[in-house]
Amino acid sequence: MAEPMLAVEDLEVRHGAIRAVRGVSLHAAPGELVVILGANGAGKSSTLMAIAGALRPASGRIRLNGRDIAGARPERIVRIGLATVPETRDVFPDLTVRENLTLGSFIRRSDRAGVAEDEARMFALFPRLSERAHQPAGTLSGGEQQMLVIARALMSRPRVLLLDEPSLGLAPVIVDQIFAMVAELKQSGLTILLVEQNAAKALAVADRAYVMRLGQIATEGDAAEIRSATDLGALYLGG
């Protein structure tokens, strides 16, 4: 097997005294779409935030594209090729849509032509954003904000994309759009680590899946296997 694009080994993450992640190991091969499922509080977001460098792991190893990134600063991790769409979305509300995108391309800001090209591509992909290019991002609807945050993440031209519950709280039509987009991004060769509550939809697009419970990996396997072997409802009731 080729070296994974992203490999996490024995990851521990704490919030003060709370051990949110306890010895999690997972990996994603280049171009793979891997989903993490699990109930609220299982430690999915903590895992993602530790990979992105927003939380400092208590212990464990994280390798991105062959480089050790455990405990590295978030600004360095982006440069190695990882972009993050956090659960809280975090558009910069008083910046315009366009300024939000500009920040997405911060690490490539010297490549003006490339950035302009990508911005045009994002606006073509998300016409709603194009119409609102000069509006403060805080005035967008929830769905539009989610599109903006995904577009902003893509502006760094990442190799790995972390998506934390991108469909959370959105209307069904928008949820479908987002899943279609995730599938498309996978087609383009991007490696994706997706956290989702919407297990059925996530497993339909994913290659492999991990199920987290109480900070640990409870089950892992091919998406199809997990889908047939697991009572999806129990994933969430089980806690």
Which residue ranges make up the site for ligand ADP (CB under 6 A)? Answer: 15, 18, 20, 38, 40-46
* Residues in a beta bridge with 11: 24
Q: Which of 18, 109, 169, 239 binds other proteins (CB under 8 A)?
A: 109
Interaction between residue 56 and other proteins (CB under 8 A): no
Instruction: Among 28, 33, 37, 45, indicate the residue that binds Mg ion (CB under 5 A).
Output: 45
The backbone torsions φ and ψ at residue 102, rounded to the nearest 5 degrees and listed phi first, read -55, -40
Q: Which is nearer to other proteins, 36 or 83 (CB)?
A: 83
Count Cα atoms within 13 angstroms, Cβ side, for 65. Answer: 13
Shortest distance (Å) from residue 93 CB to other proteins: 5
Taking the C-alpha atoms of residue 121 and residue 85, their distance in angstroms, rounded to an integer, is 19
Distance of CA 51 to CAs 11, 59, 76, Å? Answer: 9, 12, 12
99 binds other proteins (CB under 8 A): yes
Q: Does 46 bind Mg ion (CB under 5 A)?
A: no
To the nearest 10 degrees (0 to 180), the angle between helices 142-154 and 97-104 is 30
What mask, x for binding Mg ion by CB under 5 A, covers residues 69 to 108?
Answer: ------------------x---------------------
**Selected binder of other proteins within 66, 127, 138, 142 (CB under 8 A):** 138
- 132 touches which of other proteins, Mg ion, ligand ADP, none (CB within 5 to 8 A by kind)? none
140: left (phi over 0), alpha (psi -120 to 50) or beta: beta
User: How many other C-beta atoms lie within 10 A of the C-beta of residue 170?
Assistant: 19
Indicate the residue among 18 and 116 with the shorter CB distance to ligand ADP: 18
Any contact of residue 198 with Mg ion (CB under 5 A)? no
Six token digits for residue 83: 């972009």
Residues 12-51 that bind other proteins (CB under 8 A): none
Q: How far is the CB of 144 from ligand ADP (least distance, A)?
A: 23
Q: Three-state secondary structure along 130-166?
A: HHCCCCEHHHCCHHHHHHHHHHHHHCCCCCEEEEECC
Strands 208-213 and 216-222 come out as: antiparallel
**DSSP string across 63-83:** EETTEE-TT--HHHHHHHTEE
Residue 11 interacts, among ligand ADP, other proteins, Mg ion, none and using kind-specific CB cut-offs from 5 to 8 Å, with none
- Indicate the residue among 39 and 101 with the shorter CB distance to other proteins: 101
Under the rule (CB under 8 A), what is the footprint of other proteins? 52-54, 73-75, 77-79, 83-84, 86, 90, 92-95, 99, 102-104, 106-107, 109, 138, 152, 156
